[in-house]
Structure 1
Amino acid sequence: MHNFDFSPLYGSVIGFDRLVNFLEVGQSNGNYPAYNVELVSEHKYCISIVVAGFSSDELDITTHDNMLIVKGIHTRNDSNSNSDSKNYLYQGITDHDFERKFQLAEHIQITGAKLDRGILYIHLTRVLPDILKPKHIEIK
Structure 2
Amino acid sequence: MRYDWSPLRRSTIGFDRLFDALNEVQRAAEDSYPPYNIRRIGEDRFQISVALAGFAPDEVVLTVEHNVLTLEGKKADKEDSTLVYQGIATRPFKRQFTLADHVEVKKAHFENGMLVIELQREIPEAMKPRKIEIANGASKPAQQIAANAA
Over 3 Å counting, the alpha-carbon distance change for 1:128 and 1:30 in structure 2 is: same
**1:118 matched to 2:117:** no
Q: Which residue of 2 aligns with 1:100?
A: 95
Gaps in structure 1 of 5+ consecutive residues? none
Determine if contact 2:13/2:44 at 8 Å carries over to the other structure: no
The structure whose residues are more often strand, as a share, is: 1
Inter-CA distance 57–14: structure 2 relative to 1 (3 Å threshold):
farther
Percent identity, aligned pairs only, is 35
TM-score under structure 2 normalisation?
0.70
Alignment-derived partner of residue 67 in structure 2: 66
**Residues 14, 104 of structure 1: 8 Å contact kept:** no
* Structure 2 spans left out of the alignment, 5+ residues: 136-150
Whether 1:42 and 2:46 are equivalent positions in the alignment is no
RMSD of aligned C-alpha atoms? 2.8
Which position in structure 2 is the counterpart of 1:86? 83
**Residues 97 and 108 of structure 1, relative CA distance in 2, 3 Å threshold:** same
**2:110 aligned with 1:109, yes or no?**
no
Is this contact kept in 1: 2:34–2:50, CA < 8 A? yes
Q: In structure 2, what is the Cα distance between the partners aligned to 1:121 and 1:53? A: 15
Q: Which has the higher helix share?
A: 2
Distance 1:121 1:20 in 2: 18
Determine the C-alpha separation between the residues in 2 that align with 1:63 and 1:112: 12
Shift of 1:3: 5.2
TM-score, with length taken from structure 1: 0.75
Could you give the per-residue CA deviations for residues 102-133 of structure 1, whole angstroms, max 9, x where no partner exists? 00111010000010110000000001011111
Structure with higher Rg: it is: 2
